Amino acid sequence: MLTHNACLALGRRLTLLLLLVTSLLLAGQALAQSAGTEGELATAVPPVDAEIWRQVKSGENFIDTRHDSTYNLVNPSGETWRQIRNRWVSPFGLIAVGGMAALILMFYLIVGRKDLQEPRSGRKLLRWSTLERALHWTVATLFVVLALTGLNLLYGKFVFNPLLGDAVWAAMMSGTKLLHNYLGPIFGFLLIVILAKFLKKNIPDKTDWEWFKKGGGLIGKEHVDAHFANGGEKAWFWLLATAGVLVIASGLVMDFPNYGQSRDTMQWANVIHSLGALALTAVSLGHIYIGTIGTEGALEGMTTGYVDETWAKEHHNLWYEEVKDQAVTPDPSTEGHHKGQATHPPGTPG
Amino acid sequence: MATMKFMCDAERCIECNGCVTACKNANEVEWGIQRRRVVTLNDGEPTEVSISVACMHCDDAPCIAVCPTETLFKRDDGIVLHDKDMCIGCGYCLYACPFGAPQFPGTEAFGERGKMDKCTFCAGGPADSKEEEYEKYGANRIDEGKLPLCAEMCSTKALIAGDAQTVADIFRKRVVQRGHKDGAWSSTQRVGPQTSMDNLAFDATRQE
């Protein structure tokens, strides 16, 4: 019995000891764990604070293992550019170009073509020389190609990709990009040439102010005074000389990315380029309308070089006064070819 | 459906560039292009910290939004891929990308960029055959049931790749274990009342 009791007592003591040891061990582990946490915190990477975020965006105190990389860790302007392009430039560009087209269509349907009020005299005045016409149509063709390819780059994926399927679309886009990127610099060069050529005729003066006040003849019935170029033509000239030059400059920035320009520079170039180009495209619709179906007798000036005396009198009366004695009567046998140009006295405008 | 994500634990990254090398080797990336890079802030100072960056396969990817040709697209599992046949090298994805992921060979005449290349999460890209896919985009390890090689080979397991929820869980455990006062995610889906776990979440607006 005694031995049995002794055994029980020993058992109890052992159990107690075991409990004690276990609890001690557990406590020790807990202690060690908290010490570890403290230890880790002491050597941890510092918390991400405003200063770190600033560095992450700016690329300061920063090295990158990528060859030739100038990229900061996070490019915060990318999202800004995306929002400007996708939420502002893209929809408002469509509104500008589409709105202009709709306005012109409405104007044509309601007001109609501006016809000559007097019958044609049959006598012609040289308005645009061969070189000027060649320059105009080259620049005009390039402009139309660049405008269409540019619009395709901005809006094409919503129209042609679902319409044509990936394979045709891919070919179309690579053609679009080649045309846009290679014709762009040629257009840029020729635009500078044509601007220089037409600069003298487009210096603004008092008559332009009057022209604008009378809305170019839209307000009231009478014709408004105009020299070789009227207020509207000068406005188009100066729009090309400002926005057009900006579009060319920004286009070159994006066209040749091999000069080390930064992403931010190219983002801004893209915004300037698309805004300028969309504005020019919208306004060009007006120029095309007025120069073709909008005005009787205007297009023949740029195709044949000659305008009818009556047209000159009605649209550019001050210019007509200067050159009226140089009017020629084309030989009916060469009508449309205007060989008369050779017999034309030197010093005619153009 | 899983949503695949990369995550780099800056606490563990030792700037060994193993991920960069693994990526180049797995995908036979062309000369001059490095799909993954390691960025180090405050190099050589006590506060030095490194992080491995490539395409982060964004949920709302800016590159997809600005691409004029729909070269870039997102798979159902969240991986953002590119179609080399569609790319015209305009560079818009590069302007928009927050991480500098898209790169261009830039070896053609007149400064043309050439076709864009970027991390594919080792998931290849659109092609008619396996050979063509490898030629154009590199490995398709996802197809073989493997994860991106950069993350698989990371020696300190700083770079982890996989389903966003799993990645977040691994990282959350690490943060709880090491008791970092400001450096974890809470959950990719924040629903229900705030829990103590939420207080561990990294919050960029909360400044120390």
CA angle A263/A268/A274 to nearest 5° reads: 120
- pLDDT for res A25: 52
Tell me which chain A residue has its CA closest to the CA of residue B105.
A258
pLDDT over 60 at A76, yes or no: yes
Between chains, do A82 and B113 touch, taking CB under 8 Å as contact? no
Between chains, do A257 and B111 touch, taking CB under 8 Å as contact? yes
Distance between CA atoms of residues A159 and A172, nearest Å: 12
Distance between CA atoms of residues A262 and A274, nearest Å: 18
Between chains, do A63 and B43 touch, taking CB under 8 Å as contact? yes
Distance between CA atoms of residues A136 and A127, nearest Å: 13
Distance between CA atoms of residues A84 and A67, nearest Å: 30
- pLDDT for res A30: 47
Between chains, do B86 and A66 touch, taking CB under 8 Å as contact? no
User: Would residue B158 count as lying in a domain?
Assistant: no
Residues 6+ apart with CB under 8 A from A21: none
Q: Average pLDDT for consecutive 10-residue bins of chain B (208 residues)?
A: 90 92 94 92 83 94 96 96 96 94 90 94 96 96 95 95 94 76 40 48 55
One domain, residues B174 and B76: no
ipTM above threshold 0.85: no
One domain, residues B84 and B177: no
One domain, residues B173 and B103: no
Q: DSSP secondary-structure letter at A5?
A: H
Distance between CA atoms of residues A186 and A194, nearest Å: 12
The shortest C-alpha distance from B183 to chain A (Å) reads: 7
User: Would residue B141 count as lying in a domain?
Assistant: yes
pLDDT over 90 at A115, yes or no: no
One domain, residues B137 and B58: yes
Between chains, do A176 and B62 touch, taking CB under 8 Å as contact? no
Q: What percent of chain A has pLDDT over 70?
A: 79
One domain, residues B127 and B29: yes
Q: What percent of chain A has pLDDT over 90?
A: 55
Reported confidence tier of residue A168, pLDDT bands at 50, 70, 90: very high
One domain, residues B87 and B190: no
Distance between CA atoms of residues A328 and A212, nearest Å: 32
User: Would residue B205 count as lying in a domain?
Assistant: no
- pLDDT for res B152: 96
User: Would residue B157 count as lying in a domain?
Assistant: no
Q: How far, CA to CA in Å, does A310 sit from each of A123, A229, A290, A303?
A: 8, 16, 17, 18
Full strand arrangement of the beta sheet holding A62-64: A62-64, B37-41, B49-53
One domain, residues B103 and B192: no
The answer to whether A266 and A71 are in contact (CB under 8 A) is no
One domain, residues B177 and B147: no
The answer to whether A11 and A3 are in contact (CB under 8 A) is no
One domain, residues B43 and B93: yes
Q: Taking CB atoms and an 8 Å cutoff, what residues of chain B touch A71?
A: 100
User: Using one digit for the tens of pLDDT, what is the confidence trace for A321-346?
Assistant: 999 888 888 765 555 444 444 444 44
CA dihedral B135, B31, B15, B23 (to 10 degrees): 0
The amino acid occupying position B141 is: R
Q: Go through chain B and tell me how many residues it has.
A: 208
pLDDT over 60 at A1, yes or no: no
User: Using one digit for the tens of pLDDT, what is the confidence trace for A251-290?
Assistant: 999 999 988 898 999 999 999 999 999 999 999 999 999 9
User: Would residue B173 count as lying in a domain?
Assistant: yes
Total beta-carbon pairs less than 8 A apart between chain A and chain B = 146
Q: Where are the alpha helices (DSSP H) in chain A?
A: 2-43, 50-58, 77-83, 90-110, 130-164, 166-198, 206-213, 231-239, 245-255, 263-291, 299-304, 309-315, 317-323
Q: Taking CB atoms and an 8 Å cutoff, what residues of chain B touch A256?
A: 110-111
pLDDT over 80 at A3, yes or no: no
Q: What is the DSSP string of chain B?
A: ---EEEEE-TTT-----HHHHHHHHHHTPPTT--S-EEEEESTTSTT-EEEEES----TT-HHHHH-SS--EEE-TTS-EEE-TTT-----HHHHH-TT---B----SGGG---S-B---TTB--S-SSHHHHHHHH--BTTTTT---HHHHT-TTS-EEEEEHHHHHHHHHHHHHHHT-SS-B---SS--SS--GGGGGB--TTS--
- To which residue do tokens 């293992």 refer? A65
One domain, residues B120 and B145: yes
The first and second tokens of residue B26, run together, are: 């797995």
Tell me which chain A residue has its CA closest to the CA of residue B69.
A157
One domain, residues B130 and B70: yes
What are the φ/ψ torsions at residue B8 (nearest 5 degrees)?
Answer: -115, 125
Q: Taking CB atoms and an 8 Å cutoff, what residues of chain B touch A50?
A: 207
Q: What is the CATH number of the domain that holds B148?
A: 3.30.70.20
Residues 6+ apart with CB under 8 A from A32: none
The shortest C-alpha distance from B111 to chain A (Å) reads: 5
Distance between CA atoms of residues A285 and A277, nearest Å: 12
Between chains, do B100 and A154 touch, taking CB under 8 Å as contact? no
The shortest C-alpha distance from A291 to chain B (Å) reads: 33
The amino acid occupying position A340 is: G
Mean pLDDT rounded to a whole number for chain A: 84
Overall number of domains in chain B: 2
One domain, residues B68 and B170: no
Distance between CA atoms of residues B63 and A245, nearest Å: 29
Q: Taking CB atoms and an 8 Å cutoff, what residues of chain A touch B91?
A: 254, 257, 266
Distance between CA atoms of residues B41 and A64, nearest Å: 9
User: Would residue B207 count as lying in a domain?
Assistant: no
- pLDDT for res A134: 96
- pLDDT for res A346: 43
Q: Give this prediction's pTM.
A: 0.81
Q: Taking CB atoms and an 8 Å cutoff, what residues of chain A touch B183?
A: 44-45, 47-48
What domains are there in chain A, each with its CATH number? Answer: 80-343 (1.20.950.20)
Q: Which domain holds residue B179?
A: 164-200
Reported confidence tier of residue A246, pLDDT bands at 50, 70, 90: very high
Q: Which of A52, A257, A270 sits opposite B113 (nearest CB)?
A: A257
User: Would residue B159 count as lying in a domain?
Assistant: no
